[in-house]
Chains A and B, each alone.
Chain A
Amino acid sequence: MSMKHPGTSAIETKGLWGAYKWLILRRLSQAFFLALFLVGPISGYWLVKGTLASSLTLDVLPLTDPFIFLQSLLAGHVMETSAIIGVLILSAAYFIVGGRVYCSWVCPVNVVSDSASWLRRRLGWKKTGIKLPRQSALWVMAGVFVTSFVSATLVWEFFNPVTILHRSIVFGAFTTVAFIAGVMFLIELIGGDRIWCSRLCPVGAFYGLIGKVSLVKISAKNRKACNDCMDCYAVCPEAHVISPALKGEKDQNGPVILSGDCTNCARCLDVCSEHVFEFSLRTKNTMDDVRPFEGDADKDSTKAA
């Protein structure tokens, strides 16, 4: 890994906008979704009413979180039609754009997680903290389902920092906003790298399951141009998803990052100075979809041995 901060060479080759484009768009998207919910309480014009758990847009479009819906179903309650329609619409949307798009483009906790992770990188703490197995978030998810069924209640909604944070922002409970954001920041900063979002959060795990079959995916289409700077690994919140696609040439793997864990955050697109990654579709995953290498002699390659 270069001694420089990840993304430095991307800034050199692509400029600031090129190296931060997707990050900026993502922050704008997170702010946008929050703003949609805040227009109503602030101005009295109700663009979107409700919270991330269930909402009503412009008094016609119902949206309901599928993870909460499933908990409720297991707890023995069948929701009314409008909520079920909302679940179907939202699930369909995430089947298209990618399950964990929820994580990186909508979820308010992501901002906290990203800042903690950034600070850990700066402090050189990347390798410190508790190590949990990669499936642990799935275990939490299964645990939530089991307990919802056994105790007949919406188990995760007692704890869910995502909905509590969002609700407190929308309903103006700012002490709670500060409390939850602070706790999540400390968990992610001290607990371990992305310990919440990639190892514990059952919401992320659930959307990750949708991500296993969702359509829009990141592709390491231009992987033959990779110069092994490892910057994408450094910034990726789920670094294990990259190798099968980026280094898949010898195993005859296609270029698409198929893992449901990938959040489609597109930070890898930003930090790669060689334009290796781009948005693509799950279906474009044959060896023919890999772009042939156009040799570039004066490339400042930092290829490691």
Chain B
Amino acid sequence: MTQTKAKQKTVSRRDFLGNAAKGACGVGLISLALGAAVREAEGKLPADAIRPPGALAEKDFLSACVRCGLCVRDCPYDTLDLADLGTETVTGTPYFNARKIPCEMCEDIPCVVACPTGALDKSLTNIDDARMGIAVLVDHENCLNFNGLRCDVCYRVCPLIDEAITLERSANERTGKHAVFIPTVHGDKCTGCGKCEQACVLPDTAIRVLPERLARGKLGEHYRLGWEEKRKLGKSLIEGQHIIDLPDRGYSAPAQTDTGGYKGFKP
């Protein structure tokens, strides 16, 4: 204790600087340790953990979500859950596993309404605009439709049937006389609700909702799709430019059908 008449303690300049230096070192060391640990813990969201509708991009989401679980509580279908300690998903953050319980795409989006922090973005007012992930038909070998059967279950359960997922018809090469109907997801419409993943009749689903980073490729910036350009322009881009049409050797085109295709065409 310092010897003073007044009640305040005197702190020498050396003490003060010493304490400040000690404090700065302490804070620095702790920050380094915390930073390293956080980087380790943050990791990457596992592919089968899907964030609720309206969730900000993962990095921003982790700066906003306070792990309160209000979104979980207000989901009428018990879709959402908070990640437990020791799982790959950041502890306490909301997610769902589509194969277990998918998102039912509530019209009033109660989970987003409940979120107090803005981690689930309130500007999402139409659930069809949600982008929780994108469904991908990952297993072409086991999907029943790919094998020429008419399962169609993923297609039928889709809340955006014929928009987010369509059946694309093509020839069944195995039988030579039937058609196959390929379930095809359209990334610009699919919300990632996971209804299809949950409904797939296989013991292990052939269609899965994946985060966009895994589900999507990217066309080179300079790429132009000719037919798109043609549609935009309203006419062919090469018409009248004296393009030389070289003769097709060893191949005589069969008679064209009414729709412009070739009957019985086999590559």
What is the interface of chain A, defined by CB distance below 8 A to chain B?
Answer: 40, 46, 49-51, 53-56, 62, 64-65, 68, 72, 75-80, 82-83, 86, 133, 135-136, 138-140, 142-144, 146-147, 150-155, 157-159, 163-164, 167-168, 170-171, 173, 176, 179-180, 251-253
The 5 closest A-B pairs by CB, nearest first: A143-B30, A75-B63, A54-B68, A139-B26, A83-B116
- The reply to whether A163 and B67 form a contact with Cβ atoms under 8 Å apart is yes
Q: Find chain B residues with CB under 8 A from A146 CB.
A: 27, 31
Q: Which residues of B are found within 8 Å of A170, using beta-carbon distances?
A: 69
B238 at the interface (CB under 8 A from A): no
Report whether B85 and A168 are in contact in the complex, using a CB–CB cutoff of 8 Å.
yes
Consensus secondary structure, chain B interface:
helix
CB of B202 closer than 8 Å to a CB of A? no
* Residue B23 is within 8 A (CB to CB) of chain A in the complex: yes
Contacts A83-B116, A158-B91 hold; do A53 and B34 have CB atoms under 8 A apart?
no
Interface pair A154/B30, CB less than 8 Å apart? no
With both chains docked as a complex, state the minimum distance between the C-beta of B109 and any C-beta of chain A, in angstroms: 15
Q: Is the CB of B27 within 8 A of A53?
A: no
**Per-residue contact bits, chain B 99-120, to A (CB 8 Å; 1 contact, 0 not):** 0000000000000001111100
| Nearest B-chain residue to A146, judged by Cβ | B31
19 extra A-B contacts, CB within 8 A, seeds A153-B59, A170-B69: A54-B117, A56-B116, A62-B116, A72-B117, A76-B63, A77-B118, A83-B66, A83-B117, A143-B27, A150-B35, A151-B39, A152-B59, A153-B63, A154-B65, A155-B38, A157-B92, A158-B41, A159-B37, A251-B7
Residues of chain B with a CB closer than 8 A to A80's CB: 115-118, 122
Contact B42 A79 (CB under 8 A): no
Given contacts A56-B116, A142-B27, contact A72 B67 (CB under 8 A): no
Residues of B within 8 Å of A64, CB to CB, are 66, 116-117
Question: In the complex, what's the smallest C-beta–C-beta distance from A56 to chain B, in angstroms?
Answer: 6
Chain A nearest CB from B22 CB (Å) reads 8
Cβ A50 vs Cβ B63 within 8 A: no
Which single residue of chain A is at the shortest CB-CB distance from B30? A143
Contact flags (1/0) for B114-141 with A, using CB distance below 8 Å?
Answer: 1111100010000000000000000000
Is A49 touching B73 in the complex (CB atoms < 8 A)? Answer: yes
Instruction: Judge whether B221 is part of the interface by a CB distance below 8 angstroms.
Output: no
Neighbour of B84 across the interface among A68, A133, A176, CB < 8 A: A176
Rounded to whole Å, the gap between the CB of B86 and the closest CB of chain A is 8
Q: Is B62 an interface residue when CB atoms closer than 8 A count as contact?
A: yes
CB pair B31–A147 under 8 Å, yes or no, is: yes
Inter-chain CA distance A33–B26, complex, in Å, is: 34
A221 to B239, CA, bound (A): 99
Are B73's CB and A147's CB within 8 A? no
Q: How many angstroms from the CA of A170 to the CA of B82 in the assembled complex?
A: 11
**In the complex with contacts A143-B30, A152-B63, A79-B84 CB distance below 8 A:** no
Bound-state CA distance A37–B42 (Å) is 28
Q: How far is the CA of A170 from the CA of B30 in the complex (A)?
A: 30
